[in-house]
A = this chain, B = another copy of it.
Amino acid sequence: MNLTLYPLEGLPLVTPGDDLPALITDTLTQNDLSLQNGDVLVVAQKIVSKAEGRLVNLTTVKPSEAALDYGRMSDKDPRLVELILSESREVLRVRKNLIIVEHHLGFISANAGVDHSNVSGPWGDAKDWVLLLPKNPDASAAHIRHKLEEKFGVRIGVLIIDSHGRAWRLGTIGMTIGLSGLPGLVDLRGEPDLFDYRLRVTQVAASDELAAGASLVMGQAREGRPLVLARGFPYPLREGCLSELLRPKEADLFR
């Protein structure tokens, strides 16, 4: 079956307290699209964080000693570093302009996902505002999903994505940070291959594959298309969560 990714145009700028499911419904209508059983709605982290009020003004942040140290090591604003540390369980690597951490949500991440771009706040200078990741992206996805399922009378999935760098490759790709109603991981172990062997180690990170494809059509700069409707997701929908995708620390290949 074909997979079609529809980037939605015309979502207004999202601000804290906005009713995101209602905005998404309006945007779908504006794009002459409705939701069908089996669709997955892919949502950029930024609009979820903004709706949930995860904006912080750096002038209100007092850096700790650790933040000052890591700020010197990374050449980053120590107030920003303070926020990165507060979002993290552990610092793994520090380089110029880059602090790699294990985020409280359990994944490895550059700068704990704390971001300056495409952000402004309700007062002061836009350059002082930064955005944290949603507190519980699986719950955010479930909230959006249930509101949309109710509205459209369908069974769908909702996937929240962010752009992640990679240790050995340049460039970012879209990755899952939260999901509801679709599989994160699809286990094909035991399925026969073309010659009737059992595939031995194949687990497909299905929601990460969709996250990357959807990210491609979202664009990163001025475009501002943070919603993508995916029609034709090839695996059966089921309950799912981010932790399916996280390698247990003891099986982490690089610590």
Contact = CB atoms under 8 A, between A and B. Distances in A.
A180 B6 CA distance: 26
A95 B234 contact: no
Contact of A172 (B127, B194, B202, B213): B202
B7 A197 contact: no
Interface string A3-30: 1111100000100000000000000000
A2 interface: yes
B254 A168 contact: yes
A252 interface: yes
Interface string A160-194: 00010011111111110000000011101001111
Interface in A216-244: 216-217, 219-222, 224, 232-234, 244
B254 A199 contact: no
A242 to B, nearest CB: 10
| Chain copies in the assembled complex | 2
A253 B167 contact: yes
Given A216-B206, A216-B209, A222-B194, A199 B247 contact: no
A120 B211 CA distance: 33
Given A169-B245, A171-B204, A205-B170, A188 B220 contact: yes
B194 A219 contact: no
Contacts of A188: 220-221
Given A191-B221, A212-B209, A221-B191, A168 B204 contact: no
Contact of A117 (B100, B167, B202): B202
Nearest to A185: B171
Interface string A94-130: 0101101000000110000000111110000011000
Contact of A168 (B93, B214, B247): B247
B220 A252 contact: no
B171 A246 contact: no
A215 interface: yes
Given A3-B4, A4-B4, A208-B212, A244 B170 contact: yes
